[in-house]
Amino acid sequence: MTVVGPFGLSVRDQALEVDVQAGLAAVEEGLFEATKSDVPFITEAAQHLVRAGGKRFRPLLVTLAAQFGDPYAPGVVPSGVVVELTHLATLYHDDVMDEADVRRGVASANANWDNSVAVLTGDFLFARASHILADLGPEAVRIQAEAFERLVTGQIMETAGPSEGQDPIDHYLDVIGGKTGSLIAVAGRFGAMMAGADERIVSILTQYGERIGVAFQLADDVLDISSEARESGKTPGTDLREGIPTLPVLYVRARAASPGATAEDRELAALLDGDLTDDARHAEALAGLRAHPALEQARRDTVRYAEAARDMLAPLPDNAAKAALSGLCEAVVHRAG
């Protein structure tokens, strides 16, 4: 059993391990090539987050999905580069919107330079992803465009908030389905499609990607509250301090507004709705969330989505890649544990 990739997936098959390691290495090389510019400053800014590392979750899924066809097909690695470039581009933009100072343990681009540089660098990465995508054919361009529309729609929905009468939790799950699930679904789809897998397998891996993408984000929500140190370089409670209403927070608010609310529910909800930039209030809110049933409720949702992703795999042929995809579900749940 070998651990491959920054995400820490355990691979028990030597041939698959070799393929996955080679695929991720080729994607990494492609990322550095795609972020080069004739203008040295652009190269520096564009490679800022590439060099910071990351889990490479999306290229990993591309590589595993490609095992259901020809994993050496010429479109597999470029499609892995496309999805990771797109993801990286959104991080540059997210950090501007969230006014974040740190990303992956290093200064965010907006903190390192300024908001204009961060936004334009994100745009540059989108352009480079589109350039690679054009060589993968019109169907790939259409798939990526539809996913990008969903991603942006999810971001706008998050910014606008739930509509009148809409359940905030349902709204939030719709948001992360767009913001996170859509691109991870494309990773599963591209890997299988570029490898020439059967259409039924492509469909299964697309739906798997959507579900594990939501589980992945929910695990991040739990980690933001429960962890003592984040692998991403973010300190615990970062989303909390920035006023981002993640699932545990939404569950506290829902309980506080219910007929059976306790004094503890209402007090914690009031604290969460206040100014958490103050260190003492932030620490109190973080401790309250860690002790509150809402955190366990969010964990259960993470497990539910991860199990739904694993259930999608049932019709696939039994092979090492299927076992690894199932293991990926367990790895996501373990992160939230």
Give the DSSP per-residue string, 260-299.
Answer: T--HHHHHHHHHHTS---SHHHHHHHHHHHHHSHHHHHHH
HSE-up (13 A, CA, CB side) for residue 272? 29
What's the start-to-end Cα distance of the chain, in Å? 22
C-alpha separations of 57 from 5, 80, 223, 292, 328 in Å: 8, 10, 17, 30, 10
328, part of any domain: yes
| 81-93 average pLDDT score | 89
Is residue 157 over pLDDT 90? yes
pLDDT confidence tier of residue 237, bands split at 50, 70 and 90: confident
The band of 337, judged by pLDDT with boundaries at 50, 70 and 90, is low
196 Ramachandran zone, left/alpha/beta (phi>0; psi -120 to 50): left
Cα four-point dihedral sign 301, 56, 233, 179:
negative
**DSSP state, 244?**
-
- Domain of 158, CATH number, reads 1.10.600.10
In the Cβ-directed half-sphere of 280, how many Cα atoms lie within 13 Å? 0
Average pLDDT over residues 218-229: 86
pLDDT above 60 (res 166)? yes
Find where tokens 């203008």 sit: 39
Burial (CB < 10 A; 0-12, 13-18, 19+), residue 259, is: exposed
Assess if residue 78 is contained within a domain: yes
- Tell whether 100 is covered by a domain: yes
Output helix, strand, coil percentages for the chain, rounded to the nearest 5: 70, 5, 25
Which domain, by its residues, includes 51? 14-336
Structure confidence at residue 58 as a pLDDT band (50, 70, 90): very high
Relative to beta strand 106-107, strand 9-11 is: unpaired
Provide the b/e sequence for 186-221 (b: ≥16 CB within 10 Å).
Answer: bbbbbbbbbbebeeebbbbbbbbbbbbbbbbbbbbb
Instruction: List Cα–Cα distances, 285 to 234, 272, 279, in angstroms.
Output: 17, 6, 10
Domain membership of residue 57 (yes or no) is yes
| Mean local confidence (pLDDT), 314-325 | 95
In Å, what is the CA distance from 312 to each residue of 47, 119, 224, 229, 305?
36, 37, 28, 32, 11
Contacts of 143 (CB under 8 A, 6+ apart): 186, 189, 190
Q: Does residue 170 have a pLDDT over 80? A: yes
| Phi, psi values for residue 108, rounded to 5° | -65, 160
The confidence score (pLDDT) of residue 83 equals: 96
Q: Region 291-311: what's the mean pLDDT? A: 96
Does 1 map to a domain?
A: no
Whether the per-residue pLDDT at 306 is higher than 50: the answer is: yes
Query: Can you give 21-74 as a three-state secondary structure string?
Result: HHHHHHHHHHHHHHCCCCCHHHHHHHCHHHHCCCCCHHHHHHHHHHHHCCCCCC
Say yes or no to pLDDT of 303 above 90. yes
- How much is the mean pLDDT over the chain? 88
Report how many domains make up the chain. Answer: 1
The residues with which 106 forms a beta bridge, in sequence order, are: 103
7 is a domain residue? no
Identify the bridge partners of residue 2 per DSSP, sorted by sequence position: 11
So what's the pLDDT on residue 173? 96
Find the mean pLDDT for residues 87-102.
Answer: 71
- Residue 334 has a pLDDT of 83
Has this prediction a pTM greater than 0.85?
Answer: yes
Indicate whether 41 belongs to any domain: yes
pLDDT at 244: 83
205 located within any domain: yes
Distances (CA, A) of 256 to 7, 249, 267, 268, 292: 36, 11, 8, 8, 12
**For position 98, what pLDDT does the model report?**
59
Question: What six digits make up the tokens of 121?
Answer: 């660098």
- Report the C-alpha gap between 337 and 331 in whole angstroms: 10
